[in-house]
Amino acid sequence: MSPYKAIANGGNDLEKAAAIDAVEVQDAVNLVAIVGSLHEHLINLGRNGMDGNMKNNHPVTLAFLSKLNSLCRMDTERELAAHLAVLTIASGGQAEYEVLPL
């Protein structure tokens, strides 16, 4: 499937509200609140007729994910370690992980 262009519309109240929250969340540190807000906006965008590909690539989604990446100090090494850890945990094992303070 080849890429295509879509329009993010500030004239749509749901998209505008999502964009406002995406801007405001850039100063947030509460992971639960950030994920909860993103979840709410993704549900609303879907109810507004936006398909999965459009939601996955919407500027609001990318802004929220950027914040999550930043908050978790995500890089390739940390991502790989997390994937290996969840495989260990899912199979009943224990995994040590690094906790980076904010």
The pLDDT of residue 94 is: 97
Q: N- to C-terminal Cα distance for the chain?
A: 40
Report the percent of the chain where pLDDT is more than 90: 93
d(CA 92, CA 80): 19
Domain boundaries, the chain: 13-71, 74-102
pLDDT in tens, 77-86: 999 999 999 9
The pLDDT of residue 2 is: 81
pLDDT in tens, 32-58: 999 999 999 999 999 999 999 999 999
Average pLDDT, the chain: 95
Q: Considering the entire predicted model, what is its pTM? A: 0.89
